[in-house]
Amino acid sequence: MKDASVTAKLPPRQLGRKRSSTRAELSHIALQLFVERGFEQTTMDDVAAAAGIGRRTLFRYFPSKNDLPWGDFDDLLTAMRAHLARVPADQPLVDALREAIIEFNRIPTDEVPYHRQRMTLLLTVPTLAAHSTLRYSDWRAVIAEFVAARRGVDILSLQPQAMAWAFLGVSISAYERWLRDDRSDLVELLDSAYDMLGSSFDESRHR
């Protein structure tokens, strides 16, 4: 039986990107424990017990403790790839990427506290920072795939890889600024950061 005190803390279900899921709910529970006890001090057994599920069930959702803070990341990547696949061919490349990445990072109000906890952990806990390189690689791959297809080049060529790294870098910079200022707006910071890339990747230079 689920722990009623933990279940009561879970956010209401949302539509679209805001919809909660079992994976998201388990991630929320884990985040609370990581903040209260420390990441290294919290075990998968602790998370399973707090969620009122078995250890095996938890591992079906998350293969390791390092994956718990990421929540629905894989589903969001799938959604971003699908979004980019629907982009009109005449939409400027940087504009298309800006729109898709901002939607990927758009956070509902009741999710903001969890997301702040999540990103603080991912950017400051050494074990999680190391594991993040794998997740960031998956994220960059979605960007590089789109750029390569649009430019008609190999995904491993310089331009798709450079753009994927550039968008990741400015995104992380915006996140770090957001975490330092509770009054800041993440979408506004991301939008400003992507403005910096507009002239650098101006499509008119590649015609």
For the segment 101-156, what is each residue's pLDDT rounded down to a tens digit? 999 999 888 899 999 999 999 999 999 999 999 999 999 999 999 999 999 999 99
Q: What is the pLDDT of residue 132?
A: 94
What's the token pair of residue 109? 């109000």
- Residue 203 predicted with pLDDT over 70: no
Residue corresponding to tokens 């718990």: 68
The stretches of 111-206 forming alpha helices (DSSP H) are: 112-124, 126-151, 158-180, 186-198
Q: What is the pLDDT of residue 196?
A: 80
Q: Percent of the chain having pLDDT more than 70?
A: 85
Q: What is the pLDDT of residue 11?
A: 36
Q: Cβ of 98: how many Cβ atoms within 10 Å? A: 19
Mind listing the pLDDT tens digit for each residue in 46-84? 999 999 999 999 999 999 999 999 999 999 999 999 999
Q: Cβ of 118: how many Cβ atoms within 10 Å? A: 23
- Residue 32 predicted with pLDDT over 90: yes
Q: Percent of the chain having pLDDT more than 90?
A: 80
- Rounded-to-integer distance, Cα 11 and Cα 31, Å: 13
Using a 10 angstrom Cβ sphere, with 0-12 exposed, 13-18 middle and 19 or more buried, the burial of residue 34 is buried
Geometric angle at alpha carbon 113, from 63 and 139, rounded to 5°: 45
Amino acid (1-letter code) at residue 4: A
Mind listing the pLDDT tens digit for each residue in 179-188? 999 999 999 9
Q: What is the pLDDT of residue 99?
A: 94
pTM to 2 decimal places:
0.82
Amino acid (1-letter code) at residue 122: L
